Amino acid sequence: MLPNGTMRAQIGTLILATSCIQIGNGFFGTFISLRVVHEDFEAAAAGLVLSSYFVGFTIGALRCGRIIARIGHIRAYAAFAGLAVTATAAMPLLTGPLSWLILRGVIGFGCAGLFVTAESWLNAKVEPSERGRVFSIYMVGTFMALALGQLLIGRVEVATTAPFSLIAVVFAVALVMVSTTRAEAPRTGAAPFLPYAQLLRAAPVAVAGCALSGIITGAFYALVPAWMQGEDIAQSTIGFFMLVAVLGGLAFQVPVGRFSDRFDRLTVLTVLGLGFAGTAVAVVYLPHNPAVVLPAAALLGGFMSSFYPVCVANAHDRLPADRVLAVSGRLILTNGLGSALGPLLGIGLMRRFDIDGVLYLMATAAGALALLAIGRRVTSPAPPHLERPFEILTPQAAPLAHDPLGGTDESRSA
């Protein structure tokens, strides 16, 4: 066991490095939405570019555990960071829908690898009694980093290559931080295989909720900034709007988590779905001025960021504790596919019906989740809350499940 001081330093380095990655991610997600508007891509091409990150991230989250197990944490982290840096630096050199679709997918894969590496590494270093506190700090840090990334939007010229260089620098800084620390190989462990059919029978609302949550989140983060750019809204205002949405998501985590652990999770999902749908529809009809839009952004961000973790907790309630990692892997895939589908569905609606089309799409998805939760609540008794309570999970990407056994994430691919 490492001395406490050394261990704290390594844990702090991992959390800080991951926060750097999330600063870059938060900035990149909003920036690329603005940049595809500037490049004037066709609607279908723009939707594919905006979706490809989520596809790459989902594949990476499910498959990169084998890479980590084979070459070790530091080398894997360097490889994943190198992928993200290289693909980011290549984007201004290879401008076009097809090349950007591929490169954004590579970036998503690399970022997933970075997060899986960091989380499994943290699990190896942290004592079980301290894991909850450390991961709470980790997740709050990533939320704050996502928010900080939005503040950079108003300080760059979207049409230049400088934003790509800034993102590459942030990713490279994280690589330097982690590559200069000493790794400890985590214990490996395999989770039982879980067929999708079994998960669907046991927790159909959780599966559907993860897909619908992905559609909502993918559409919101990819398309709302693009629409605001098309309306000639100042970049600083766009960044501030997205900042408020991220902070709203952070503010909802603790109270929603407490309600989720105390009451039936399907009831909580019903309230969240109806709350999001009502807010989204209200935005269509209310004046689009800061006094209305910014509180709405906080509410939308809060409701939206709470869907996925409540769905994950609901699924864990309904399946044995030894299936935690298998369940998480399936839900990651489902959420990632939804996240990729959201921009594809939304961009066509936005081109035809303006932002109202996107708002109605998100409201419909949230309303469908609420109805599914109500139906399941009526037909199925609520399960007892088991050993996996609500956990804070970040927005904007398919969140990764934490391995409570300190093993590698190899089992995520199950």
Residue 356 lies in a domain: yes
Secondary structure (3-state) at 81: helix
Is the per-residue pLDDT at 215 higher than 70? yes
Which residues have C-beta within 8 Å of that of residue 122, sequence separation ≥ 6?
11, 14, 15, 134, 135, 138
Residue 386 lies in a domain: no
- The pLDDT assigned to 116 comes to 82
Residue 37 lies in a domain: yes
Residue 158 and residue 228 in one domain: no
Q: In whole angstroms, what is the distance from residue 223 CA to residue 91 CA?
A: 20
Residues 257-296 pLDDT 10s: 888 888 888 999 999 999 999 999 999 999 888 889 999 9
Is pLDDT of 412 > 50?
no
- 391 located within any domain: no
Nearest alpha carbon to residue 51 among 210, 222, 217: 222
Would you say residue 401 lies in a domain? no
Q: Is the pLDDT assigned to residue 158 strictly greater than 80?
A: yes
What length does the chain have? 414
Q: Are residues 14 and 147 in the same domain?
A: yes
Work out how many domains the chain is built from and give that number: 2
Residue holding tokens 């989380």? 119
Write out the residue range of the structural domain in which residue 246 sits.
Answer: 196-379
CATH of the domain at 171: 1.20.1250.20
Question: Which is more confident, 14 or 10?
Answer: 14
Q: Return the half-sphere exposure (C-beta side, CA atoms, 13 A cut-off) of residue 27.
A: 28
Which residue's entry shows tokens 């290289």?
86
| pLDDT tens-digit map of 239-258 | 999 999 999 998 998 888 88
What's the pLDDT at 132?
61
- What pLDDT score was predicted for residue 163? 95
For residues 160 and 250, state if they share a domain. Answer: no
Rounded-to-integer distance, Cα 229 and Cα 262, Å: 42
Backbone conformation region of residue 173, classed left if phi is above 0, alpha if psi is from -120 to 50, else beta = alpha
pLDDT at 183: 54
Q: How far is CA 215 from the centre of its chain?
A: 12
Confidence of residue 399 (pLDDT cuts 50, 70, 90): very low
Which residue did the predictor score with more confidence, 242 or 398?
242
> What would the two tokens of residue 347 be?
């961009």
On whether both 122 and 245 belong to a single domain, the answer is no
Q: What average pLDDT does this structure show over 49-75? A: 87
Q: What predicted TM-score, i.e. pTM, was given to this entire model?
A: 0.84
Q: Based on the fold, state whether residues 333 and 203 are members of the same structural domain.
A: yes
Per-residue H/E/C for 168-229: HHHHHHHHHHHHCCCCCCCECCCCCCCCHHHHHHHCHHHHHHHHHHHHHHHHHHHHHHHHHH
Mean pLDDT for 203-209 is: 93
Residues 349-379 pLDDT 10s: 998 999 999 999 999 999 999 999 999 888 8
Largest CA distance in the chain: 61
Cα 312 to the chain's mean position, in Å?
13
Could you tell me if 201 and 179 lie in one domain? no
Q: Do 31 and 145 belong together in one domain?
A: yes
Look at residue 162 and tell me if it is in a domain.
yes
315 and 217: one domain? yes
Range picked from 96-100, 118-122, 247-251 for highest mean pLDDT = 96-100
Q: What integer best gives the mean pLDDT of the chain?
A: 84
Per-residue pLDDT band for 31 (boundaries 50, 70, 90) equals very high
> Do both 164 and 247 map to the same domain?
no
Residues 56 and 146 occupy one common structural domain: yes
Tell me, yes or no, whether 158 lies in a domain. yes
Q: Which residues of 332-363 are buried (b: 16+ CB within 10 A; e: fewer)?
A: bbbbbbbbbbbbbbbbebbeeeebbbbbbbbb
pLDDT at 206: 92
- pLDDT tens digits, residue range 102-114? 999 999 999 988 8
Is there a domain that residue 226 lies in? yes
Question: How sure is the predictor about 341, in pLDDT bands with cuts at 50, 70 and 90?
Answer: very high
Q: What is the mean pLDDT of residues 26-44?
A: 92
Residues 6+ apart with CB under 8 A from 258: 390
Rounded CA-CA distance 291/2 in Å is: 52
Query: Do residue 225 and residue 108 come from a single domain?
Result: no
Q: Are 210 and 302 within one domain?
A: yes
